[in-house]
A and B are shown apart, each in its own frame.
Chain A
Amino acid sequence: MELTILWYLIPSLLMFCCGVYGFITRKNMIAMLISLELMLNAVDINFVVFNRFLFPGELEGMFFTLFAIALAAAETALAIAIIINVFRVSEKIDVDDVTKMKF
């Protein structure tokens, strides 16, 4: 059995859908952040896979993924910093409860 492109894309798709589902349904901001990471990683996988199968010998997709991973790490650090600060102020990290600056 040959490993075609579908073998990679279907798990990636599942991962992405899990991310979307989690992002929409979870109220905990940490959980939402994890879901976001899931989506990002699914996209990263797609980049690598498409590079591997469509343009063998080229490296753009690989490097793009590397940059995306670095950016995701930075973004996660930032997001967690915000979440911690929100927690310090309101003692809660439910996204529905963070309404202090809304009105």
Chain B
Amino acid sequence: MEPVIPIIILALPLTMFLVLGLLGHKMAHRTAGILGTLSMGVTMVLAYITTLTYFFSGSSEFINEEGVRLQSVIFNWDWLAFTDSLVIRLGFLLDPISALLLVVITTISFMVHLYSNGYMRDHHGVWETGFQRFYAFLSLFSFSMLGLVVATNIFQMYIFWELVGASSYLLIGFYYTKPSAVSASKKAFIVTRFADLGFLIGILVLSFYTGTFDFTNFTSTGVEGMANVYQVDLTTAEGIRNWIASSPAPVFMGGSVLTWALVLIFMGGMGKSAMMPLHIWLPDAMEGPTPVSALIHAATMVVAGVFLVARLFPLYLMEEVALNIITVVGALTAFYAAMVACVQVDIKRVLAFSTISQIAFMMVSLGVARPEFHHGLGYMAAMFHLFTHAMFKALLFLCAGALIHAIGSNDYTDMHGLRKHMPVTHVTFLIGCLAIAGIIPFAGFFSKDEILTAVFGQSIFWYIWMSAVAGLTAFYMFRLYYLIFWWKEHKTPEGHHAPHDQLWTMTLPLVILAVVSCVAGFVPFGNLVTWNGHPMFESVNFFTNLGALDWSVAAISLAVAILAIILATVMYKKENPLPAKMRSALPRLWDWCYHRFYWDELYMFITHKIIFGCISRPIAWFDRHVIDGSMDGMAWVTQRISFAIRGLQSGNIQLYVWIYLVGVILLGAITAVCLL
């Protein structure tokens, strides 16, 4: 494939960031919005062309005779050449998951660009302050995220990884006059940076022992007779493990170098994907504008951790320990986040915890994936869920944005009974809820079912656990749905217009994403995205996914979801005292869930009481009293001495001569005495 289109895909958002960032304040708001949206639209079309070419052109650089999908390095520039072996490259790697992510990122990003034209202005058409800056940051984010997924080597990935972190920071803190937004952006930045420290150490350990940064060297072998084309291959990862083991690599606390490197790299993924215990930044990140939450904190950036694990998956397969850690972390996070989501009042917080829970689903799915079981079904399921989740969660967030825009508040207590006032939002939100709850035939049903099947194949315990989480998911989403759209009649406060559906720029993305959420489940992912590129099905048609279902698993998860929805309907459809009774029956549990199991308080305790109190304060005391004290003491002594002797330098030349004379006489006398 010619590198022209891939280069434009990366260059266009970057150019738009520079144009809007540097010249935006000279443009009209409308121009900036249209410019940003159009350029993202062009990027989206180009990304579609690239992806379709990759999957369906049948070119020998993308697929071999047996139908195995290959990794193709479109271009790879030497960026920083330190030595012959230490070269940092920037390139474009096209393989199933990067092609998939290209589609996801550009689609959601385009929807959000379009949507923000309506969202970032109030009901009187007055534009938000910093509107152009907002679009510039959106472009920066899109550029960074695209660069991340097409990275050819782990260092390029790290660079763009930090760039998405930075643009996330900028966008969370978009309303920088609000103290809560500022502290939320700082929190997100610091927590993810702490996680990225682990990531960096992991990269350095891995690269030190393997002598390479390139993903293709970690996981794939070159295809004979083709330049820059690789095939994913377990023997490569096996070779790397043997190579590390044969060189005298130290064993640290019972773990081999590879285990530690992979666990540390996963730590970076935990931070970005908000896995426990590094999840605390994501709920607070909801302080950003809602389109940002949809783009960054639901659909794209937060799945970077999943993508990272998927990218290095053959290496992870070499270390069962690392995969088991991923499974356990994911499962615990999924359950925790689902519990918390059941009692939150702020609708964006509910969606944020739901996002954490769903990403944890993907992590679990990767953690249980083994090549022996259905060609690594878990890997495919994770990528499938990443795709469908991006669509329906972006839809839910954009619906929430429409609601917030109409009502002017984030809490469902101010909403209630909106179904007649906002019919489009109502229907699209319902579709999103059905999709995430896993009701056939919406997108979430298929992907979640694949995940549960994969978990079932590995461990019954985690299967029951994750099914329970899936039930909780359906429950809290429908609780939210009923509390927003039903419960009781909407009461418009005095002096406000009745809420209504928003401008077409805001409703159109909702409708498009709702349609995608309806049909995305039928995409035959098994033939597009698998861990080693081998197709799962002989031939595919529209109903392949339906035919491939494991109905015993599907029926159970469907039953669980429907039960949970019925429960939510009973409790929340009409105003009734049942929820309040539940709450008073389990006050302790309710409190713990409402306060997110006191994780933030725990962090505050650790940082303020232990780190600041026991470590920082003694160090500060030492610095202020011992180090500063010794320096100050030297200055003090010098000053006192100079005060004492400064009278000697009077500028009185006659005194100088007098002293000189006395000195000469004394010197002469001493010399004379000595000589005699």
Contacts and interface: CB of A to CB of B under 8 A. Distances in A.
Interface string B634-654: 000000000000000001111
B141 to A, nearest CB: 62
A25 B652 CA distance: 12
A4 interface: no
B661 A95 contact: no
A20 B657 CA distance: 8
Contacts of B654: 23-25, 32, 95
A32 B657 CA distance: 12
Contacts of A2: none
Contact of B653 (A20, A95, A99): A95
Contact of B658 (A24, A99, A102): A24
Contact of A20 (B651, B652, B661): B661
A24 B654 CA distance: 5
A102 B657 contact: no
Contacts of B661: 20, 24
A101 B657 CA distance: 21
A2 to B, nearest CB: 29
A96 interface: yes
Interface residues on A, range: under 10
A23 B651 contact: no
Interface string B446-465: 00000000000000000000
Interface string A1-39: 000000000000000000010011100000010000000
Contact of B652 (A23, A32, A96): A96
Most chain B Cβ neighbours within 10 Å, of A20, A24, A95, A96: A24
Interface in B617-676: 651-654, 657-658, 661
Nearest to A99: B651
A93 to B, nearest CB: 14
A95 B652 CA distance: 8
Contacts of B658: 24
Nearest to B656: A24
Question: Interface on chain B toward A: helix, strand, loop, or mixed SS?
Answer: helix
Nearest to A21: B661
Nearest to A27: B654
Contacts of A102: 651
A24 to B, nearest CB: 5
Interface string B162-198: 0000000000000000000000000000000000000
A25 B658 CA distance: 9
A63 B654 CA distance: 31
A95 B653 CA distance: 9
Interface in A57-103: 95-96, 99, 102
Nearest to B655: A24
A25 B654 CA distance: 8
B663 to A, nearest CB: 13
B654 to A, nearest CB: 5
A47 B631 CA distance: 56
B317 to A, nearest CB: 81
A96 B652 CA distance: 7
Contacts of A99: 651
B75 to A, nearest CB: 71
Nearest to A102: B651
A90 B213 CA distance: 79
A102 B648 CA distance: 14
A37 B28 CA distance: 85
A94 to B, nearest CB: 11
A86 B595 CA distance: 84
Nearest to B651: A102
A102 B651 CA distance: 7
Contacts of A32: 654
A24 B653 CA distance: 8
Contacts of B657: 20, 23-24
Nearest to A103: B651
B665 to A, nearest CB: 11
Nearest to A26: B654
Nearest to B661: A20
A12 to B, nearest CB: 17
Nearest to A101: B651
A23 B657 CA distance: 8
Contacts of B653: 95
Nearest to B652: A96
B145 to A, nearest CB: 66
A25 B653 CA distance: 11
B621 to A, nearest CB: 41
Contacts of A20: 657, 661
A95 B654 CA distance: 9
Contacts of B652: 95-96
Given A23-B654, A24-B654, 12 more contacts: A20-B657, A23-B657, A24-B657, A24-B658, A24-B661, A25-B654, A95-B652, A95-B653, A95-B654, A96-B652, A99-B651, A102-B651
13 contacts: A20-B657, A20-B661, A23-B654, A23-B657, A24-B654, A24-B661, A32-B654, A95-B652, A95-B653, A95-B654, A96-B652, A99-B651, A102-B651
